[in-house]
Structure 1
Amino acid sequence: MGPERTFLHADPHLPLLSFISTQLSNKRVVTTDTVTSIATTTIVATMTFTNFLKFSSFTLLSLTLLHRFLPSLPLLSSLSHRHHPLLLLSFLSCTLLYLYLYARRRPLPVFLFDYSCYLPEPERRSSLEVCEYYGFRCPRLSHSTADFMRAIFLKSGLGDETYAPPYIFQEDYDAKFRYAVQEAEEGMFDAVSSLLSKTGIPTSAISVLIVACSMFSPVPSLSAFIVNHFNFDPSIKTYNLSGMGCSGGTMCCDLAAKILCSKPGYALIVVTENMSLNWYFGENARCSSPTASSASAPRPCS
């Protein structure tokens, strides 16, 4: 699974008609092998304007009904007497304040702003022949284990357009921490840089950073790698989720949506996986199956 980058955005104070007419001609469609995403800035502005119209119409209707039935209600009729203009004004002010607070309590809409994936270099492409070469050359794997892993790989559904981590192409055939760091930095930095250049959003505007990686949790954290590399604002809120497998990306989106509903802004979601330190070199076939199926992890193209 390749690193995925997502922007979520919530903003209750977007410009209205002039902004909409300008952005209608600037919508970008990004098509990849696995996903099609549309920049939805215009949709956010349109829906915010619609909510504003609904609130204005409701307020106008309430005032009209109040004015229409004012003489028929004893309490309101007494308030409308010429000796109580301040009481009537206070009543109307409280009504408008209640309507405003009711509208403010409604949750803000949260939208996917843009999306980017990491595509490794062509020399990282891992075909069946490359995996066979690694299996038979690695001194820590017996020939029987290499044959078993080859059979699992053929049935895994992975083709010649998949990519392997940097560790596969090293000569020492030893899983080391620095290879895991290299794998994480290459994927995250490239995808985040691509996303920031596509959206044009400055790092100072991003208030939330969420990173999900199940099998690699270094210290400092992966979110600290990103914050230091791209010079994010020191006040940015960072979250690191692990141990949830492929569902980590969905959990990140849910967490970002809940945060943005209470505090509008931009949230950057980074979903990746790391395999450099998660290899099995023993003779147990059950333990060798995950290693064979993840030897060439698919990397979505951006």
Structure 2
Amino acid sequence: METKNPNSTVPGGEDEETQINFRSSIRLKYVKLGYHYLISNAVYLLIIPLLFAAAANLSKSHVQDILHMCNYHLRYNVLTVITCTSLMAVLATVYYMSRPRKVYLVDFSCYKPDPSLLCTRGMVVEKVSTILSKEGADFTKKVLEREEAEMIICGAIDDLFAKTRVKPRDIGILVVNISAFNPPSMKLRGDVVSCNLGGMGCSAGLIAIDLAKRLLQVQPNTYALVMSLESMTSNYYAGKDRSKLLTNCLFRMGGAAILLSNRFSDRRRSKYELTHTLRTHKGADDRAYRCAFQEEDEEGNLGVSLSRDLIPVAGQALQANITTLGPLVLPMSEQLLFLATLVARKVFKMKVKPYVPDFKLAFEHFCIHTGGRGVLDELEKHLQLTQSHMEPSRMTLYRFGNTSSSSIWYSLAYAEAKGQIRKGHRVWQIAFGSGFKCNSGVWRALKTIDPAKEQNPWTDEINLFPVPVPTMSPLRPLTTVIHSLE
């Protein structure tokens, strides 16, 4: 009996067809990469022949002829030379004074909750409410709200001041985003420009960065302190509506303090330079406006409802945001391919798939808001990202949960702790929030981050990550959790 090798390929069979398709995809990949390099360096390819042509023409002219021509023009056109020089000086001064000031990220600090806080404050309120009167339970909740917020704010900002050696009196701009809490003063100076952003949802972190950037354009030589957090206790829902109970499971305690500067002297010690901020708001669409909505239930309990339209609405907001961001960050090769596909579909009515630009050519790192596993899966699919690109966001969701507006900073801290940030690398922070809003922040690394010199929430446990994240995991009893901490 004739035996067949299971590893051999049959001519014309499925294995050979798969191998041919694989080889074709590999060839197309390198063709596209070569096309990208060609378009990106097209300017240099055009300049070099022009320089050679100019050098050839100058070589034909005698040096004395060139000097004689220069002396002639200088002798009889002194007034013209002075006028042109003065005009150029004025224009240069106007340009220098009116150009946007560069904004640097000196450093940032993320708050790491103590392990003893694993039993959330909402659970404490729920237990206390069974043995106290309504007035006593409300008073306890107010105390916990203030303690929680001050713990995060003071912890993150104190750590940031210690790392940057900046004193509170040096801060000229303060932007705090928190939906339902009045932040403390932090003993800043009397003329500090203080802004408190409320009701902006999970995308408020990048809105605060954008606001601080705009304020830094009109206040020279100053620091801006941005504090992004959310108060878990004040947003705890104690009702029975399932659409509102979901937020109690999603959100976790966390916060981040960010120090920005427009001082050129701070460039040397800063980590990143802010290159772009972009805000997209879809609130005109009722479906988008109500997909994450705060309202009272039938019993008068205030909570945030999350509808089933959240994921598709987030996809539409992302599409609108990246359509505007693309021309600002994508290389010319990707822009030409996108334009060619658009013309083919709209003008010539050709049945071709819409071209999705390769944002991996524009960014080395992606810090995506950890709104949930479904949100990360959708972005990985639509942006065609790899597992390594999604690792910071997925590990942040696994370890710290959804920390609202500060989640993108925990993702960036993960990349720093892993030693992935190199000088010149570009970072794209993407945040989603109620409204519905999609915001982007683009940073360029000014130096290589040495993880050995960094101190952030990941430092003590970064060697344990990444870990496989299960689709579902059973809940452990509270007694088991407490015993594991002892």
- TM-score scaled by structure 2? 0.34
Q: Which residue of 2 aligns with 1:236?
A: 192
Shift of 1:69: 6.2
* Paired residues for 1:197-236 under 5 Å: 197-214=162-179, 216-218=180-182, 222=183, 225-226=184-185, 229=186, 231-236=187-192
Q: Against the structure 1 CA distance between its residues 131 and 108, is the aligned structure 2 distance closer, same or farther, given a 3 Å change threshold?
A: closer
Q: What amino acid does structure 1 have at the position aligned with 2:112?
A: L
Give the alignment partner of residue 293 of structure 1, picking from 241, 247, 250. Answer: 250
Query: Is 1:263 aligned with 2:227?
Result: no
The one-letter code matched in structure 1 to 2:86 is S
Q: Is residue 175–residue 208 contact of structure 2 (8 Å, CA) maintained in 1? A: yes
Q: Which has the higher contact order (CA 8 A, sep 6+)?
A: 1
Residue matched to 2:159: 194
- 1:102 and 1:247 map into 2 onto residues whose CA distance is 34
- d(CA) in 2 for partners of 1:183, 1:259: 29
Q: Which of 215, 235, 246 lines up with 1:278 in the alignment?
A: 235
d(CA) in 1 for partners of 2:69 and 2:177? Answer: 58
Determine the C-alpha separation between the residues in 1 that align with 2:177 and 2:123.
31
Distance, in Å, in 2 between the alignment partners of 1:133 and 1:98 is 65
Counterpart secondary structure, 2:224: strand
Contact 1:212 1:272 in 2 (8 A): yes
- From the superposition, tell whether residues 68 and 103 of structure 1 become closer, same or farther in structure 2 (CA, over 3 Å): farther
Q: 1:245 aligns with which of 198, 201, 208?
A: 201
Residue 203 of structure 2 aligns with an amino acid whose one-letter code is S
Q: Distance in 2 between matches of 1:256 and 1:70?
A: 53
> Structure 2: 5+ residue runs without aligned partners?
1-67, 255-399, 404-409, 411-455, 458-486
Counterpart position of 1:116: 109
Distance between the aligned counterparts of 1:213 and 1:234, measured in 2? 22
Deviation digits for residues 119-169 of structure 1, max 9, x if unmatched? 222311239xx99898788639xxxxxxxxxxxxxxxxxxxxxxxxxxxxx
Q: Which amino acid aligns with 2:204?
A: G
SS at match of 1:276: coil
CA contact (8 A) 2:122 2:233 kept: no
- Give the secondary-structure state (helix, strand or coil) at the position aligned to 2:119: coil
When the two structures are aligned, how many residues end up with a matched partner? Answer: 188
Deviations, residues 34-88 of structure 1 (Å, cap 9, x unaligned): xxxxxxxxxxxxxxxxxxxxxxxxxxxxxxxxx976855xxx87652xxx7xx86
Residue 246 of structure 1 aligns with an amino acid whose one-letter code is C
Deviation at 1:284, TM superposition (A): 2.5
**Identical residues among aligned pairs (%):** 25
SS at match of 1:181: helix
Structure 1 residue 183 corresponds to structure 2 residue 139: no
2:176/2:196 contact within 8 Å kept: yes
| CA distances 1:82-134 after superposition (whole Å, capped 9, x unpaired) | xx7xx86465334322222223322222121101011222311239xx99898
Q: Secondary structure at the match of 1:114?
A: strand
Amino acid aligned to 1:243? G
Take 1:178 and 1:77, find their aligned partners in 2: how far apart are those partners?
83
User: Residues of 2 paired with 1:238 and 1:284: CA distance?
Assistant: 37
1:158-208 CA-partner distances (Å, limit 9, x unpaired): xxxxxxxxxxxxx95976222211111111011111100110112222111
- The one-letter code of the counterpart of 2:241 is N
Q: Equivalent residue of 1:183, what SS?
A: helix
Q: Which amino acid aligns with 1:92?
A: T
In 2, the alpha carbon distance for the partners of 1:284 and 1:90 equals: 75
Q: Is the 8 A contact 2:181 2:231 kept in 1?
A: no
Q: Is contact 1:108-1:261 (8 Å) kept? A: yes
Structure 2 residue aligned with 1:96? 89
* 1:32-181 equivalent positions in 2, closer than 5 A: 71=72, 80=78, 89=82, 92-126=85-119, 139=130, 176-181=141-146
Distance 1:213 1:116, change over 3 A: same
Q: What's the CA shift for 1:233?
A: 1.5
For 1:246-272, what per-residue CA distance to the aligned partner results, in whole angstroms no more than 9, with x for missing partners? 110011111112222333321110001
CA RMSD of aligned residues (A): 3.6
Query: TM (normalized to structure 1)?
Result: 0.52
CA distance, structure 2, for counterparts of residue 272 and residue 200 of structure 1: 23
What SS is found at the alignment partner of 1:270?
Answer: strand
Note closer, same or farther for the CA distance 1:68–1:113 as it changes in structure 2 (3 Å cut): farther
With over 3 angstroms needed to count, the CA separation of the structure-2 counterparts of 1:92 and 1:282, relative to structure 1, is closer
CA distance in 2 between partners of 1:249 and 1:115 (Å) = 13
C-alpha separation between the residues in 2 aligned to 1:284 and 1:107? 49
**d(CA) in 1 for partners of 2:140, 2:69:** 80
C-alpha distance in structure 2 between counterparts of 1:131 and 1:255, whole Å: 32
> Residue 240 and residue 89 in structure 1: after superposition, are their counterparts in 2 closer, same or farther (change >3 A)?
same
Contact 1:175–1:277 (CA under 8 A) maintained in structure 2: no
